[in-house]
A and B are shown apart, each in its own frame.
Chain A
């Protein structure tokens, strides 16, 4: 087993444990924002897609890189925005004026 594989595996296993520890403390109330927040975190694959675009030199490579970039970027941006939109609705006290119906597009504060 190579040095790189060993260190990558160590990182992977320890991160799994950190993940289990941290996430088991999240209350059920926040499970939907948690999942959508986790969604934005896996959007970090954008980093991989960018590095792929940097090495691509032919049509196949460019096409694959383009789709990967678009997928990953939508994942990152959409994930964080929608998570924020959800979390800003969680309030301890109700607002004086009720928000408009759910048919309205969400407003970012």
Chain B
């Protein structure tokens, strides 16, 4: 190894260390931004050293340089534009698109290397590189098409309802068998068989589509996390193909991150990952539990709610998926602000799957200028509900359903916010419609609960106006 090679490898090590430190600093909102900057500095170092390495190596053609510079600039401009323009409510789509880009790039790196080797009669792919290529191309292709479908579902371009067709399982089995067959041929048969590689590439792309299409919009937090883990793995595999340590380390870090988030999301939704991926939706036993009590929900008006809120000493706000969809985070923050000025103790209870991706609700509320110490995680806020005079639930359903505590419910065991412990509860909802689990919510018929039927955005705005009128008079 020449001195220059050594310098490049050491720089990659420094970059990898920056990634780890950057992720570590994400453990607190106070240091997270610095962490991101350190991570970006590590990335810049890796890229600059790579350009220097390519120049030093001298095998690159003039066209190669042009491609390198123009390709990078075009991508950078597109990324910059997307990152600046995206609305916070649309973050899940952007993250999905970046997953697609990363997975696609990882597969392409393996393909470029494969075609280079396959194009020279004197060269052969090692078995090691063949294994990594097969894995990289399959995982990368699945991530690319799967993430595009996921982004389409989130954006509403693709039907967000679970799209199933009768033979989807059979088709997936055939696709998987075909990919295993093609992969086995590349590994143990001909290392440089272009048809076999194209077969696994196409099967991977089709599988990504058939995997994500049957998954419903509400399961997207799990799907995005899983595809994020896939992307990381694909990048690590690309590192194995071209024997590059920084790709392996970064890929493994992202793979670990995506896996943890996938597990957390699946737990929070009370669904196994296997159930979401293999089962699609609607295959689970959806037998509804008939409420033992014949209680009818009690409907309340905006003025009553405003009065209750204005004269409470402790209020807990429970924003859910519905609030994110209605983009009512600013209205909720305005209400909280108003109450705080009156000396009311206000906090937000955030369920892990509130919003459309892991942690999404926190970003939406941070954007609405809510200080992060007010955003409480489930474990932290649950003991506080008993002391709350009023809990205001906006656009959340299953995550506040006490049925989860019973053994005979479809959502039994799902972690929920203990909203029913509050002294009084107001649920803002458009109708008595069911949540994602499709069962009745016992919270709504609780004698302590008042149902305020309104759209999250206009309902909260009405409340703000009503509180203001009360305070003024």
* Chain A residues close to B by CB (< 8 Å): 2, 4-5, 8, 11-13, 15-20, 22-58, 60-62, 64-95, 98-99, 101-103, 105-106, 108
B138 at the interface (CB under 8 A from A): no
Known: A29-B377, A30-B362. A69 touches B67 (CB 8 A): yes
With A50-B68, A61-B116, A102-B330 known as contacts, the answer to whether A72 contacts B95 (CB < 8 A) is: no
In the complex, are the beta carbons of B68 and A53 less than 8 A apart? yes
Contacts of A50 in B (CB 8 A): 47, 50-51, 54, 68, 72
Question: Could you give 29 example pairs across A and B, Cβ below 8 Å?
Answer: A8-B243, A8-B245, A8-B248, A12-B239, A15-B16, A15-B252, A29-B377, A32-B358, A32-B360, A34-B26, A35-B358, A36-B91, A39-B98, A40-B36, A40-B98, A41-B22, A42-B102, A45-B105, A47-B47, A50-B68, A54-B59, A61-B116, A65-B68, A67-B71, A82-B83, A90-B29, A99-B367, A102-B327, A102-B367
* Known contacts A38-B254, A102-B330; A45 and B71 CB within 8 A of each other: no
Q: Please, how many angstroms separate the alpha-carbon atoms of A8 and B208 in the complex?
A: 28
How long is the Cα–Cα vector from A3 to B103 in the complex, in angstroms? Answer: 27
Q: Which of B73-81, B153-161, B209-217 lies on the face that meets chain A?
A: B73-81
Complex formed: what's the CA distance from A27 to B362 in Å?
A: 11
Known: A4-B128, A29-B350, A102-B87. A41 touches B68 (CB 8 A): no
B20 at the interface (CB under 8 A from A): yes
Query: Number of residues in B with C-beta < 8 Å to the partner?
Result: 127
Tell me how far the C-beta of B448 lies from the nearest C-beta in chain A, rounded to whole angstroms. 27
**Given the contacts A32-B357, A45-B102, A73-B71, A19 and B225 also touching, CB distance less than 8 Å:** no
Q: Which residues of B contact A41 (CB under 8 A)?
A: 19, 22-23, 39, 43, 250, 253-254
Q: Which of B181-189, B229-237, B295-303 is near enough to bind chain A?
A: B229-237
**Distance (whole angstroms) from the CB of B10 to the closest CB of chain A:** 15
Does the CB pair B128–A2 fall under 8 Å?
yes
Report the Cα distance A6→B121, complex, angstroms: 28
- For residue A17, which residues in chain B have a CB less than 8 angstroms away from its CB? 256
Count A-B pairs with CB separation below 8 Å: 423
* The residue from B33, B105, B225, B231 contacting A68, defined by CB atoms under 8 A apart: B105
Q: How far is the CB of B405 from chain A (nearest CB, A)?
A: 21
Within 8 A of A (CB), among B350-364: 350, 352, 355, 357-360, 362-363
Helix, strand, loop or mixed for chain B's interface?
helix
Q: From A90, which residue of chain B is reached at the shortest CB distance?
A: B29
**In the bound complex, do residue B372 and residue A29 qualify as a contact, i.e. CB atoms below 8 Å apart?**
yes
Shortest CB-to-CB span from A88 to chain B, Å, is 6
Most chain B CB atoms below 10 A, which of A47, A65, A68? A47
- For A99, the chain B residues whose CB sits under 8 A away are 367, 369
Binary per-residue interface labels of chain B (30-54) against chain A in the complex, 1 for a CB within 8 Å, 0 otherwise? 1011011101100100110011011
State the Cβ distance, B246 to closest chain A Cβ, in Å: 6
| Stretch among B106-114, B311-319, B426-434 lining the A interface | B106-114
